[in-house]
Amino acid sequence: MIQGAGSNVGKSLLVAGLCRAYHLRGLKVMPFKPQNMSNNAAVTSDNGEIGRAQALQALAAGVLAHTDMNPVLLKPETDIGAQVIVRGKVLTTAKARDYARLKPQLLPAVLDSFERLRQTADLVLVEGAGSPAEINLRLGDIANMGFAEAADLPVILTGDIDRGGVIAQIVGTSAVLEPADRDRIKAFIINKFRGDVSLFDDGLDEITTRTGWASLGVVPWFNQAHKLPAEDVVEIGSTNCGDFKIAVPHLSRIANFDDLDPLRQEPGVSVQLVEPGMPLPGDAGLVLIPGTKSTIADLAFFRQQGWDIDLAAHIRRGGHVLGICGGYQMLGREIIDQSGIEGVPGRVQGLGHLDVVTEMLPEKNLRNVIATCLADQTSVTGYEIHIGTTTGNDCNRAWLAIGDRLEGAQSVNGRVQGSYLHGMFASDAFRQGYLQRLGISSSGLDYSAEIEATLNALAHHLETALDLDRILDLAG
């Protein structure tokens, strides 16, 4: 189990790289994360949802993503509450205090999922969440040491030297842990080192002397990390490589923003994540309104920033708009939520740029799909992960088809479009055709090949930096 001395120390990327490295060695590898918190989810082969990081790790391991790889997924809906997904399906919505009482009941399901993976794999690589140093959360824990104890796993602790204070991160973790938890940690990794790693030799000795843990190595900064799908929106930032600007409002509950990843790698495109309080840029060619975990709340948030006024001006100037999932719902005339699925029951006026109405319904749509773009008949792979149905006159101008079913909507002039289909831009022919219709020349980017090449480079990076044989020995 790979745990972190803090949040965002690079656990997800390390596990992905190790999955690919051991896969290249000929082992059958499975990734696992007992509990994840993210609104960036992936639809699995068994029609459930897991964290995007575990889907990337499955790809790195050369296996299909499955709900057993992330049996508990928390999707924040408010600052104090989250939707609880167990084995890919919605269990409940709980506030943080209520979830603390629920966690012990979820441990059997978590262990069952882990055991199924372990029975089919040579190696299961487990990713922790946050840090075991958060000892106030140890009681009932299923994410870090609580799970490691229940599954009887050896632990490797990872520290992030790029933030500074990495010796204190690791030695401090040793200091606050109970002896039994401390004994589970067998070794440590220093991650994100810039420069000559030999300069930290004395630091490694200090950590080993103060903790008794062995060093598995120092991982230099991996410059290609930005090419891989990120789980946390703070990691994606903006790109400024091309003349055509795509503006993406940073919604408060932004979800499934992996839609942006292929666009960020297009050389003719700049993707600008517009932070709250900033206007939508007047020179944007496309405004892309992404998915959200809370459409109605983020619609109010959108208006609070004045983005509704900016969007109307963008459309008057002849700009293009694409809404995906929750962004699609916002673009319509009205959102009806009579059951109070997203809060107080009622009806909310939409932005009104598409002649459609969305009705929120309890059942979540979860499926991987293959669609066809009606403009050029290119194939589009993607996934749906949403609640609600959308109907109206502009749906008669659908621009995608899934089998015999029309998907999406567009305005009379075709400049405003919406769809429930996530992941569409990962399809090279579709993405290139879409951008060409916006006046951007095809780059010939093979997105899937780029991801594969980056994972292979990451595996080589870790083979060079770490003692992977020792990790196998620790795993037994």
Question: How many helices (H) and strands (E) are present in the chain, helices listed first?
Answer: 14, 26
Rounded CA separation 306/309 (Å):
6
Please name which of 238, 319, 242 lies closest in space to residue 272, comparing C-alpha atoms: 238
The catalytic residue among 19, 250, 320, 325 is 325
Which amino acid, residue 1? M
Establish how many alpha carbons lie within 13 A of residue 276's alpha carbon, considering only the half-sphere containing its beta carbon: 11
Provide the b/e sequence for 96-135 (b: ≥16 CB within 10 Å): eeebeeebeebbebbbebbeebeeebebbbbbbbbbbbbe
Choice among 23, 250, 353, 422 that is catalytic = 422
> How are beta strands 49-51 and 214-220 bridged, if at all?
unpaired
Whether 373 is a known active-site residue: answer: no
Largest CA distance in the chain: 70
209: number of Cβ within 10 Å: 9
Element (H, E) at 405: strand 405-407
Gap between the Cα atoms of 355 and 124, Å rounded: 49
Handedness of CA 131, 132, 137, 142 (dihedral sign): positive
297 contacts: CB under 8 Å, gap ≥ 6? 77, 78, 252, 253, 342, 343
C-alpha 33/C-alpha 147 separation (Å) is 10
* Ramachandran region, residue 423 (left: φ > 0; alpha: ψ -120 to 50; beta: rest): left
Taken as a whole, the chain contains a residue count of 476
Q: Tell me if residue 353 is catalytic.
A: no
Specify which residues 37 forms β-bridges with.
74
3-state secondary structure 439-460: CCCCCCCCHHHHHHHHHHHHHH
DSSP letters, 201-232, are HHHHHHHHHHH-PEEEEEEE--TTGGGSPPSS
3-state secondary structure of 303: helix
> Catalytic residue numbers?
325, 422
